[in-house]
Chain A
Amino acid sequence: MMKEKLIGFLQNKWSQVILFTLFVVITSLSLYLSQKSVVAFLLLLASLLILYYMKLKNLTKWIIGGGILFILLPMASSGGPAFQSYMEVATMVGIYVAMALGLNIVVGLAGLLDLGFVAFFAVGAYSYAIFATPQASNFMPFGSYPLGGESFWIFLIIGGICAAIAGVLIGIPVLRVKGDYLAIVTLGFGEIIRIVFNNLDRPVNFTNGAMGISSVTPPSIFGIQLVFPHHFYFVTLVILAFTIFAVLRFEHSKLGRSWKAVRENEIAAQAMGIPLVKTKLLAFALGATFSGMMGVVFAAKQAFIDPTSFTLLESFTILVMVVLGGMGSVPGVILGAALVTILNLQVLTELTNWVNQLTLNGIINVPDALSPAKMQKLIFGLLLVIFALYRPIGLIPAKNKKFDEKKLKTNRLAIDRENTVAIDKDNV
């Protein structure tokens, strides 16, 4: 009896709204008042997940979610010195979510296992870093470099386009092979791009090689220079919003259907008139675009990039996000990317600090090699294996669009009726 009542209560829309509001208010207040409470920060982020499951209209959810991310989260975490570090974490979450959504097009929708995805992030990052530093004057015959901070906004588009072109260029040779072979070839190309950036300092110095490019001009808008993490937080959020919007549109269009058809059965897809190579290349190019845009943000935010930011481990990390969240599922991938990034940046770091503290105090002695921060690969490996074995569909599995039978039917009747009316008129 009690249990049923409780369930009934929790399923009621208004009780949900009240509880949710309470939750958000409490977590925001505790984050604001107790600055160091990482838990409060994480719980406030988790409110978005709760929101996802609430019985509200989609548009309402988007507005509330946007409100939390654009206003509440920055305000609640601005109560003290940890503000910038929270914003930094949130920015990284946004960057990875957008990248994972890009990879989701390739892996989740089109079913092409790409193990070198970080290459497109690198292309975006380098495209801005090279032109926003004196680096470009090494090979550009005209113009003066570095370009000003206003160029950042154009480079968001240029970086995306460069990444898309890289996607097509890599895709043309790579898409000749399928399945496991594709995974290996993309892995190879991912590494090739990194090594190329690592060595493009001779004969003409494009990338400054392993030294990396430093002092990247910070973006500016209306004369304000964007240098603080909370600046980049808002930039990231806007791009992320665009990314989510775009991938949802793609997924539910004829394009998304053609990707899924190719994933499900290449031969049948072709027999239905879907060009295989073009469809796959489009998945590569569009997936890469979002990654490239975030690469530009990353370069501007770090003000320094070198090839070590774009290793194989990064590609794997993004793949783990997609698999963990649910291949082909936009909400799943968002959750997966957020969890993995937070695990990486917050949980493991906090644990490492804690273990170091204990070691310092002489309570336990954990050798450096066993510090949690170094377990990243092990943890990702375990996560992949566990999910592959026990929940291959991921945390929030992909759902097909539900078509409203009534709409498809009533419309038909309406047409029939129109026709009848028309005929009647003719008779008169």
Chain B
Amino acid sequence: MTATDVPISAEGNPIGFGRMHRKEDARFLRGAGKYVDDVTLPGMLHGAILRSPIAHARITSIDTSAAEAHPKVKAVITGQTLEGLGLAWMPTLSQDTQSVLCTDKVRFQGQEVAFVIAEDKYSARDALQLIDVDYEPLDAVVDAKHALDDDAPIVRDDLEGRTDNHIYDWEAGDATKCDEVFRNAEVVVTQEMLYPRVHPAPMETCGSVASMDPISGKLTIWTTTQAPHAHRTLYALVAGLPEHKIQVISPDIGGGFGNKVGIYPGYVCSIVGSIVTGKPVKWMEDRSENLMSTSFARDYHMTGSIAATRDGKIQGLKVDVLADHGAFNGVAQPTKFPAGFFHIFTGSYDYDAAHCNVTAVYTNKAPGGVAYACSFRVTEAVYLVERMVDCLADELGMDPAELRMNNLLKPEQFPYTTPTGWEYDSGDYPRALDEAMRIAGYDELRTEQAEKRRAYEAGESSMLMGIGISFFTEGVGAGPRKHMDILGLGMADGCELRIHPTGKAVVRLSVQSQGQGHETTFAQIISHELGIPPEDIDVVHGDTDNTPFGLGTYGSRSTPVSGAAAAVVARRVKDKSRIIAAAALECSPDDLEWEHGRWFVKGDPDNGKTIQDIAMAAHSSLELPEGVEGHLDATAVYDPPELTYPFGAYICVTDVDAGTGEVKVRRFIAVDDCGPRINPMIVEGQVHGGVADGIGMALMELIAFERDGTNLGGSFMDYLLPTSMECPSYELGETVTPSPHHPLGVKGVGESATVGSPAAVVNSVLDAIGVRAADMPLTPAVVWRAMQGSPLRMDLALE
């Protein structure tokens, strides 16, 4: 259905897909959103966490007596308290364990050591100063490249029999075949690169309010989670609380980007705090705690090699990765894939062979490892391949657009199985790249660039100009139960739809919005299927007592999985409405035809029943056929048959001052293909935000460390987010290639731009300065040093 076919409701909204203002905005605009820190309960106490100032140290003693004597302090919890409850350690989402409050030694700066509960938050913070901890410092492993050295200190001596910092080796592809392709290749280019440690840094930090009702034994926890149902099950498994006595409420969430997938020690402490004190306990981390202790992203040291013929036919790609997971392997991803979906690193091109090997190590840094809108490490994968293609173009002296165009998968190759086993569902890649080049005015840009370079070389100007391209393919919508689970929980999503007698509806989702606008988009999906105006459809989410089970919102999975569940559930209601309409019209269901929210008798369009009439009839005394129950509702669980594969072509134009190394992003062109767009306004907003993320990562964002493990990115003074001054106006385009296996054809878009944009920015800057490689973030210092031929390593402080 094209936008112009969509009927318009009395309130001016499309009855189905199309641009529509968001339903959730009414409260956000008035300051009436309800975020976790806005929850206040009678008698509520406040918690604060004492954190380690040192990256690696044995704790020899903790004296909490002075803190306990503080007049406003109600309790102090340490690792010892938790040990008594069996809660000093908790499982991570990737079958590792993580310390809740330290019992033996601290393993990263900012690790949780003690939890103070006081009458107000200022007193809780005051009391942290009164806790006396004796630390016996140990050497720290900070550089992942030395984590496997023989003399490296062992981070995880808590694990039985552990004598090194090795977590896993994982490979995909055919190493033998790949070696053969490389041996016979005319051209091989090898390049080391670091995708440095960055942080999702949503504007709202993480926190929770836990309230244990001592009489009913019911625990209610309001918490910043992208996956409320998964959290509930984990609390049941970890704490041994009966699952039906746990209600997880994820209210309005101030951005997630992967930061709010896992369970953090603070959440557990607030729960224990509520049990211990018998009062509700709120814990909200501050910004430094957020940046220093919660899930970081990337930290991938990659060495890529690309093989090709001299005339530019790409033949092979291989990569070795050293993955820094920090002190605990807290990565959230499907169990079978310890490196996430990194093996989609072959990207959008055709090869004879490909192979990757990922080795993961522990270091004395904060745990986590998959976050920041990365589609389970597709971000690292896309960065690798799109940088390698540019390195190859540089080696061959070819235009990077031409090299890409010659090697992109062709539409007739879909469905396409990659050398590492992914089955891409659909795509028309050359069309997307063409469209991006058309919007950019690619040839004119190259002409302008040549003139800028001439003037620079003639000493007339210090300004250079770069044009960078990135083409990405993502695999999203995790995932098929046959391949994917997290901690044994299959990645399907439930959905429930109820049509009230007057034809108004309520749809209950298992996923949760952190700003993606689900209250609008999912109403539009139901509206599209049933012809009910979106304003008549209420979307309920984020409360485990009131929604069906499902694994939550991350990895761009809401529309691919939960959106499909919503479509399926609406179709079930529609099927039933046909039977009821037939009963009311005294005809056979087969005699009915559907259009815009009503069933009518074929050949007699005036003789019909609207979905609203049918809803009333379904609840009335109308006699229904044998075996048909009254009312109009349905449930569904959607197990995606495969992932969906959104793709896009991005072009970034930068101006670089060669004198200072300063980069200005002049233009950013983003052509996205995420299948049909349910609400184009929301899709565009998702792309805008993702491009800004990419600009941030490419130019500014970095969590670096001192050699002793001191975190150098622990505040917004040090960890720089892009502001309105660094971001350009975005120029968007689209192509539409529906997914053949999704009921709505949609593919998911939440992370596309975060995944695709960093390589475009980096390629652009390097194109400007004529240097093959330099690592993010391309700060003025990095750019300037790269131009002098002495690149900087930014992830560690200088020795």
Please indicate whether A and B come from the same complex rather than being unrelated chains: no
Instruction: Show the binding face of B for A, using Cβ within 8 Å.
Output: none
A binding-site residues for B, Cβ under 8 Å: none
